Amino acid sequence: MSFSLKQDSPSLKSAVDYAASKGVICVASAGNDGSFLQVWPAAYSNVIGVGATNNKGIRSLFSNFGNSLVTLAAPGEGVITTYPRQHYAQVWGTSFSAPLVSGAASLLLDMNRSTNGTMAEKDLSHATAIGQELGAGELDLYQACLAAKQK
């Protein structure tokens, strides 16, 4: 989920809870205010909140932070992505960090079809510790896969 709301929504909470109850691994961007604040859906306990880092593994200045919001971080500066009219572009934001973590969760699910949100979060937490109130640290796909494989 590459969006964030500054106010909680009962409807959003209900939708996320329903998805999680059906085995969906929920991942959301932590927001781009460069602040220590709660945003939803990343702040829900059944959602993996994702902050952004630069190419040096340092929290992006725009990335929201706080270990109660951010489960882990992923690159979010100068990410190359598709762009309209068959082009590519460099983009910045936690909305581009979250899909990297979603892809990692998808790989974990491919490795073990019984993987749920809790299991994915535990495996993804085998990250590169960087502090900076970015949860477990920066995504380390290799370590996450090793952790998942040992089950």
Band the pLDDT of 118: cuts 50, 70, 90: very high
Please tell me the predicted confidence (pLDDT) of residue 151.
74
What are the residue boundaries of the structural domains of the chain, listed by start? 10-149
Domain 10-149 has CATH 3.40.1530.20: no
Amino acid at 47: V
For Cα atoms 34, 16, 134, give the angle at the middle one, nearest 5 degrees.
30
Secondary structure letter of residue 5 according to DSSP: B
pLDDT for the residue numbered 3: 97
Which two structure tokens, joined as six digits, stand for 63?
């990335």
